[in-house]
Chain A
Amino acid sequence: MKVQQMLVLSKVRSWTKQTGLHVLREYGIFVIFIALCLAIGLMRPVFFSLTNIFNVIRQVSMIGIIGAGMTFVILAADIDLSVGSVAAFCGALCAGLMVWNHFPVLVAILIALLVAGFMGWVIGIITTKANVHSFVVTLGMMSVARGATLVYTRGLPISGTPRAFAILGEGMVGPVPVPVILFICGILIGHFVLTRTVFGRAVYAVGGNREAARLSGIKVDRIRITNFVICSTLAGLAGIILTSRVRSAVPLAAQGWELDVIASVIIGGTSLFGGRGGVIGTLIGALFLGVLRNGADLLGVSPYYQQVLMGAVVIGAVVLDRVRHRAVSTSSR
């Protein structure tokens, strides 16, 4: 298996070098990302100011944190559509525990994270044990969690969170915002787990070929459930950060996040069919979307066009991914 993979890789490398496309092919999205940054920076030099750079990273940090978890789920050929709703619910729960029940900040955060993890566990159990596709299960959970948020908040914002809670969303360590640190930590830990641990290898194996993974003794169900728990917990964390940032929990918060998160993962080169990709790609994917949106804001692009732009970029990234994928499969024949 390994020898074969190496053979394929070397063949692809030589083919792309011959065609001179190898830079774009190997590091496609990264090259486009740098070009995008340069283009925006040329038109609006303020783009490269330290404030703006940290603004962008802070703006994408919540999507990026969930993206790290979503990468695990997608690598194992599953999907999680419930992350936005789970984020909203956990943000609201955390705020409610602090404002209504006067729980200490850390206890409230911990409970909210545990509930998030539990929601992921429920998704995992139903997906694996009842053998229902995760698309359906998480679509349901998306609705359940959003409805639960409405019930819990009674449809109104929860405001008046304690001052200490603001550190999570607005605090700084030196010049670096706290959400950015959490985001980078999430990516680094995710990268370490995926590349250096037995669990990480198993995630790739499950996504590559579920049956083969099962036959080689990998506990497929356990891996998939763990992925959902990781993803939901990180979604909960992102929801708590959002609540801290806007100093209140809003029932409509984090709506549509699932699409931004999945787009980041896909733009980052992780295959929707599982088995290929990684969290470093997701980091680039999330930054890419953030820079695109920030650039559009700085250039004063109308919100109508912004949506068109976003959609076009996601399609473009998937097409690029397909071209790369095809290059691998044709040269292996």
Chain B
Amino acid sequence: MKFLKRVLLMALALGLLSVPVQTAWAAKYKVGFCVMTLAFTWMQYSYRAILEEAKKYPEIELIVQDAQMSPERQVAICENFIAMGVDAIITDPLDVTTLIPTMEKAKEAGIAFVTFDRRAFGAPYLFHVGCDDVFGGRLAAEYIAAKLNGEGRIVYISGQVGSSPAINRDRGFKEQLAHYPKLKIVYEQSGQFLREEGLRVMEDAIVATGGKFDAVFCANDDSALGAIQAMKAAGIDLDKVIVVGCDGVPDALRAILAGELDASIQYPVAMASIAMRQLAEYLIYGKMPAVIDYDILPWLIVKANIETGDFYPEITK
């Protein structure tokens, strides 16, 4: 199975890499890029953003591998990069600890290690570009509080159990909600960041609450889109319910325009391109970024400012 997976992925990677390969003669620096997975919408776009950014620097040759959501595979890929003698590694750590020994090895070998999106704790790295998810959770709570005048019943569909965005969004959301004693979470369950789970959990939430709720907060857009499907099927008037998602993926922007989703918290794709740009400038010009731990602030997208969405160009094409 592993063999088949590799062959397929190699074919995929080769196809996608065909452009950088043409300019490889000019490349002075090899950068290993280990993608966490190519199957999440947001990851797919951040991956494309990194390829785009790297193209701007002919001195950089990017080698791409996919960890397919497996921390062990991520370790193996990064170790291969070290063995290949790359100049730098850029990745999105699947969990907070597994990569630590690999990152230490990279440091010994004098290889720059850069992380974006998720981080690894307690390991040496050159710099990190991420997003303040706690702030994102706060934004969602503030928006719902403002819309409901600080009083109402909330259905909360949380994220993939144990993942750092889910944990941080949860923290920010609940901490901010604590300022509004009349806002109550009447139902809480994990939607696992998936559409089918968001749909299923929302169906159960409608039954459990008897359809009595004023707002739905979902820890990502996919589960929010599933929840919207469930509410529509149950005949709930979406104009009377505030629905908020996170990430700002293209389908969510479409749903905002259609008036089904009220808001989404943009998880900025810029963190991927910024990480790549800073790494390129470090390698080529020896320029260290001004901030080692750079957390971009997410922002709220509603119908009025829909064009600020990272994926707005995608839906107007």
CA A86 – CA B148 in complex, angstroms? 44
| Residues in A neighbouring B205, C-beta threshold 8 A | 297
Which A-chain residue is minimally distant from B201 (CB atoms)? Answer: A297
- CB pair B8 A157 closer than 8 Å: no
* Cβ contact within 8 Å between A140 and B226: no
Instruction: Write the nearest CB–CB distance from B228 to chain A, whole angstroms.
Output: 9
Report yes or no: B4 in contact with A147, Cβ–Cβ below 8 A: yes
From A148, which residue of chain B is reached at the shortest CB distance?
A: B8
Residues of chain B within 8 A (CB-CB) of A148 are: 8
Give per-residue flags for A234-246: 1 if the beta carbon is below 8 A from chain B beta carbons, else 0. Answer: 0000000010011
Taking a contact as CB atoms closer than 8 A, the residue among B1, B5, B189, B233 that contacts A300 in the complex is: B189
Q: Counting CB contacts under 8 A, is A37 at the interface?
A: no
Contacts of B222 in A (CB 8 A): 157, 250
Which chain A residues numbered 12 to 53 have a C-beta less than 8 Å away from chain B?
44, 46, 49, 51-52
- Tell me if A150 is interfacial: C-beta within 8 Å of chain B: yes
Q: Bound state CA distance, A303 and B8, in angstroms?
A: 34
Tell me the bound Cα distance from A59 to B9 in angstroms: 33
B200 adjacent to chain A (CB < 8 Å): yes
Contact B207 A150 (CB under 8 A): no
Query: Could you tell me if A245 and B4 are in contact, using CB atoms closer than 8 angstroms?
Result: no
Number of interface residues of B (CB under 8 A): 39
Complex CA–CA separation, A151 to B4 (angstroms): 14
Grouping DSSP codes into helix (H, G, I), strand (E, B) and loop, the B interface class, with mixed when no group exceeds half, is helix
**Are A59 and B200 in contact, with the CB atoms below 8 A?**
yes
In the complex, the answer to whether A248 meets B204 with C-beta atoms within 8 Å is no
CB distance from A304 to the nearest CB of B (A): 7
Q: Across the interface, do B8 and A147 meet the contact criterion of CB distance under 8 Å? A: yes
Are A140's CB and B161's CB within 8 A?
Answer: no
Are B196 and A303 in contact, with the CB atoms below 8 A?
no
Known: A246-B229, A253-B196. A55 touches B203 (CB 8 A): yes
For chain A, residues 146 to 160, give those with C-beta under 8 angstroms from any C-beta of chain B. 147-148, 150-151, 154-157, 159
Residue of B5, B39, B226, B229 with most chain A CB atoms under a 10 A cut-off? B39
A242 near B8 with CB under 8 A, answer no
In the complex, are the beta carbons of B199 and A246 less than 8 A apart?
Answer: yes
Which residues of chain A come closer than 8 Å to B208, judged between CB atoms?
44, 46, 297-298, 300
Of the residues B1, B188, B225, contact of A143 by C-beta under 8 Å: B1
B192 surroundings in chain A (CB, below 8 A): 303
Q: CA A151 – CA B44 in complex, angstroms?
A: 12
A250 to chain B, nearest CB (A): 6
Q: Are B39 and A155 in contact (CB under 8 A)?
A: yes
A246 near B44 with CB under 8 A, answer: no
Q: How distant is the Cα of A159 from the Cα of B43 in the complex, in angstroms?
A: 18
Contacting A at CB under 8 A, from B15-38, are: 38
Check if B312 is an interface residue, CB within 8 A of chain A: no
Size bracket, chain A contacts: 35 or more
Contact: B1 with A246, CB < 8 Å?
Answer: no
Q: Assess whether B4 is in contact with A250, with CB atoms less than 8 Å apart.
A: no
Contacting residues, chain B, for A49 (C-beta < 8 A): 207
Q: How far is the CB of A174 from chain B (nearest CB, A)?
A: 16
Q: Mark B203-227, 1 if CB is under 8 A from A, else 0.
A: 1111110100000000000100110
Minimum C-beta distance from A138 to chain B (A) = 10
A245 to B210, CA, bound (A): 22
Please indicate the chain B residues that have their CB under 8 angstroms from the CB of A294 in the complex: 204
* CB atoms of B12 and A150 under 8 A apart: yes
A59 to B222, CA, bound (A): 18
- Interface flag for A142 (CB, 8 Å): yes
Within 8 Å of chain B (Cβ to Cβ): is A144? Answer: yes
- B232, closest chain A residue (CB): A170
Q: Across the interface, do A143 and B207 meet the contact criterion of CB distance under 8 Å?
A: no
Given contacts A144-B4, A157-B251, A303-B189, are A55 and B226 in contact (CB under 8 A)?
Answer: no
Whether a CB of chain B sits under 8 angstroms from the CB of A224 is no
Cβ < 8 Å to A, chain B residues 38-52: 38-41, 43-44
Tell me which residues across on chain B come within 8 A of A155, comparing CB atoms: 38-39, 41, 43-44
Q: Which residue, A139, A140, A247, has most C-beta atoms of chain B within 10 A?
A: A247
**Interface presence of B254 (CB below 8 A):** yes
Interfacial chain A residues near B200, Cβ < 8 Å: 59, 293
B195 at the interface (CB under 8 A from A): yes
B294 within 8 A of A: no
Residues from chain B with a CB closer than 8 A to the CB of A293 are 200
| Bound complex: CA A155 to CA B195 (Å) | 15
A248-B8 in contact (CB<8A)? no
The 0/1 profile, CB within 8 Å of B marked 1, for residues 148-183 of chain A is 101100111101000000000010000000000000
**Given the complex of chains A and B, what is the CA–CA distance between A59 and B161 in angstroms?**
21
B154 to chain A, nearest CB (A): 14
Chain A nearest Cβ from B218, distance in angstroms: 14
Residue of A nearest to B7 (CB): A147
Residue of A nearest to B45 (CB): A156
Q: Which 3 A-B pairs have the closest CB atoms?
A: A297-B204, A147-B8, A303-B190
19 A/B residue pairs, CB under 8 Å, sorted by A:
A55-B204, A143-B1, A147-B4, A150-B12, A151-B12, A157-B251, A159-B251, A245-B199, A245-B229, A246-B226, A246-B229, A250-B195, A250-B196, A253-B195, A300-B188, A300-B208, A303-B161, A303-B189, A303-B192
Q: Which residues of B contact A (CB under 8 A)?
A: 1, 4-5, 8-9, 12, 38-41, 43-44, 161, 187-190, 192, 194-196, 199-201, 203-208, 210, 222, 225-226, 229, 233-234, 251, 254
| Seed contacts A157-B41, A246-B196, A300-B188; 10 additional CB < 8 Å A-B pairs | A52-B207, A58-B203, A59-B203, A143-B1, A147-B4, A150-B39, A151-B8, A246-B199, A248-B195, A253-B195
Which residues of A come within 8 Å of B, CB atoms?
44, 46, 49, 51-52, 55, 58-59, 139-140, 142-144, 147-148, 150-151, 154-157, 159, 170, 242, 245-248, 250-254, 293-294, 297-298, 300, 303-304
